[in-house]
A and B are shown apart, each in its own frame.
Chain A
Amino acid sequence: MPGTTKHRIETADDGVVTLSLSGRMDLERFGELTPLISTIFDSYTPSSLNVDMAGIDYIDSSGALFIVKLEDEAHARSVPFTLSGLSREKMGILSLIDREALAKPSLAPRERRLNLIEQLGNASIIAVRDMYDIVSFGGELIYEIGHSVTHLRKVRWGDVVTYMKKVGVDGLPIVGLISFLLGLIMAFMSSLQLKQFGANVYVASLVAVAMVRELGPIMTAIIVAGRSGSAFAAEIGTMRVNEEVDALATMGFSPMRFLSIPKVIASLVTVPVLTIFASIFAIMGGLIVGVVGLNLTIFTYIQQTMKAISIFDIVSGLVKSFVFAAAISAVGCQRGFRVRGGAEAVGNATTSAVVTSIFLIIVIDSTFAIILHYIH
Chain B
Amino acid sequence: MEKGNRTTADPVIKVEGLTVRYGDNTVLDGVDFEVYPGEIFVIMGGSGCGKSTLLKHVIGIETPAEGKIWINGTDTALLDDSELRRLHMGIGMLFQSSALFGSMTIGENVALPLTEFTALPMKDIDSLVRMKLGMVELAGYDNHYPSELSGGMKKRAGIARAMALEPAMLFLDEPSAGLDPVTSAELDLLIRKLNEGTGTTMVIVTHELETIFNISHRIIMLDRDAKGIIAEGDPRVLRTNSQDARVTDFFNRRVTKKKHEGMTT
Can you name the residue of chain B whose Cβ is closest to the Cβ of A93?
A: B197
Q: Which chain A positions have C-beta within 8 A of B194?
A: 96
Interface residues of A in 36-55 (CB under 8 A from B): none
Q: Which chain A positions have C-beta within 8 A of B118?
A: 27-28, 30-31
Least Cβ distance of B96 to chain A in Å?
15
Task: Decide if B79 is an interface residue (CB 8 Å cutoff).
Answer: no
Contact indicator per residue, chain B 89-123, by CB within 8 Å of chain A (1) or not (0): 00000000000001000010000000000111100
Given the contacts A26-B166, A28-B118, A65-B127, A107 and B198 also touching, CB distance less than 8 Å: no
Separation of A92 and B141 alpha carbons in the complex (Å): 25
Contact indicator per residue, chain A 338-351, by CB within 8 Å of chain B (1) or not (0): 00011010000000
Separation of A28 and B137 alpha carbons in the complex (Å): 25
Q: How many residues of B contact A (CB 8 A)?
A: 33
Separation of A62 and B102 alpha carbons in the complex (Å): 26
Contact indicator per residue, chain B 204-231, by CB within 8 Å of chain A (1) or not (0): 0000000000000000000000000000
Say yes or no: A106 contacts B166, CB within 8 Å: no
Can you name the residue of chain B whose Cβ is closest to the Cβ of A99?
A: B134
Q: Which chain A positions have C-beta within 8 A of B144?
A: 107-108
Can you name the residue of chain B whose Cβ is closest to the Cβ of A97?
A: B131
Interface residues of B in 121-139 (CB under 8 A from A): 121, 124, 127-128, 130-135, 137, 139
Given the contacts A61-B131, A61-B135, A65-B127, A106 and B142 also touching, CB distance less than 8 Å: yes
Task: Decide if B85 is an interface residue (CB 8 Å cutoff).
Answer: no
Say yes or no: B140 contacts A105, CB within 8 Å: yes
Least Cβ distance of A112 to chain B in Å?
12
Q: Which chain A positions have C-beta within 8 A of B139?
A: 98, 100-101, 104
Q: Which chain B positions have C-beta within 8 A of A26?
A: 166
Can you name the residue of chain B whose Cβ is closest to the Cβ of A26?
A: B166
Can you name the residue of chain B whose Cβ is closest to the Cβ of A69?
A: B127
Task: Decide if B143 is an interface residue (CB 8 Å cutoff).
Answer: yes
Say yes or no: A100 contacts B143, CB within 8 Å: no
Q: Which chain B positions have C-beta within 8 A of A65?
A: 127-128, 131
Task: Decide if B75 is an interface residue (CB 8 Å cutoff).
Answer: no
Say yes or no: A30 contacts B124, CB within 8 Å: yes
Q: Which chain B positions have C-beta within 8 A of A62?
A: 128, 131, 166
Can you name the residue of chain A whose Cβ is closest to the Cβ of B196?
A: A92
Say yes or no: B141 contacts A30, CB within 8 Å: no
Say yes or no: B143 contacts A96, CB within 8 Å: no
Task: Decide if B16 is an interface residue (CB 8 Å cutoff).
Answer: no
Contact indicator per residue, chain B 134-168, by CB within 8 Å of chain A (1) or not (0): 11010111111001100000000000000101100
Q: Which chain B positions have C-beta within 8 A of A97?
A: 131, 134-135
Can you name the residue of chain A whose Cβ is closest to the Cβ of B102?
A: A344
Say yes or no: B124 contacts A31, CB within 8 Å: yes
Least Cβ distance of B189 to chain A in Å?
13
Task: Decide if B6 is an interface residue (CB 8 Å cutoff).
Answer: no
Q: Which chain B positions have C-beta within 8 A of A344?
A: 102
Task: Decide if A153 is an interface residue (CB 8 Å cutoff).
Answer: no
Task: Decide if B193 is an interface residue (CB 8 Å cutoff).
Answer: yes
Interface residues of B in 45-88 (CB under 8 A from A): none
Q: Give the residue of A34, A60, A106, A342 whose beta carbon is less than 8 angstroms from that of B140.
A: A106
Q: Give the residue of B130, B143, B166 whose beta carbon is less than 8 angstroms from that of A102.
A: B130
Separation of A69 and B127 alpha carbons in the complex (Å): 10
Least Cβ distance of A226 to chain B in Å?
25
Can you name the residue of chain A whose Cβ is closest to the Cβ of B123?
A: A34
Q: Which chain A positions have C-beta within 8 A of B121?
A: 31
Task: Decide if A95 is an interface residue (CB 8 Å cutoff).
Answer: yes
Interface residues of B in 173-212 (CB under 8 A from A): 193-194, 196-199
Q: Which chain B positions have C-beta within 8 A of A89?
A: 199
Q: Which chain B positions have C-beta within 8 A of A108?
A: 141, 143-144, 148
Task: Decide if A373 is an interface residue (CB 8 Å cutoff).
Answer: no
Separation of A34 and B121 alpha carbons in the complex (Å): 10
In this complex, the member of B118, B133, B134, B199 whose beta carbon has the largest number of chain A beta carbons within 10 angstroms is: B134
Say yes or no: B133 contacts A96, CB within 8 Å: no
Can you name the residue of chain A whose Cβ is closest to the Cβ of B118?
A: A27
Can you name the residue of chain B whose Cβ is closest to the Cβ of A27?
A: B166
Least Cβ distance of A201 to chain B in Å?
58
Q: Which chain A positions have C-beta within 8 A of B127?
A: 65, 69, 102
Task: Decide if A2 is an interface residue (CB 8 Å cutoff).
Answer: no
Least Cβ distance of B119 to chain A in Å?
6
Say yes or no: B135 contacts A98, CB within 8 Å: yes
In this complex, the member of B121, B124, B133, B140 whose beta carbon has the largest number of chain A beta carbons within 10 angstroms is: B124
Q: Give the residue of A31, A92, A104, A341 whose beta carbon is less than 8 angstroms from that of B197.
A: A92
Least Cβ distance of B32 to chain A in Å?
29
Separation of A27 and B129 alpha carbons in the complex (Å): 12
Separation of A341 and B147 alpha carbons in the complex (Å): 9
Interface residues of A in 84-126 (CB under 8 A from B): 89, 92-93, 95-98, 100-102, 104-110
Q: Which chain A positions have C-beta within 8 A of B143?
A: 106-110
Sample (20) of A-B pairs whose CB atoms are under 8 Å apart? A26-B166, A27-B118, A31-B118, A31-B124, A34-B124, A60-B198, A61-B166, A65-B127, A89-B199, A93-B198, A93-B199, A100-B139, A101-B134, A102-B134, A104-B130, A104-B134, A106-B141, A106-B142, A107-B140, A108-B148
Q: 4 other contacts beyond A98-B134, A341-B147, with CB at 8 A cut-off?
A: A28-B118, A92-B199, A98-B131, A106-B140
Sorted nearest first, the 3 A-B pairs with minimum C-beta distance are A101-B134, A101-B139, A98-B134
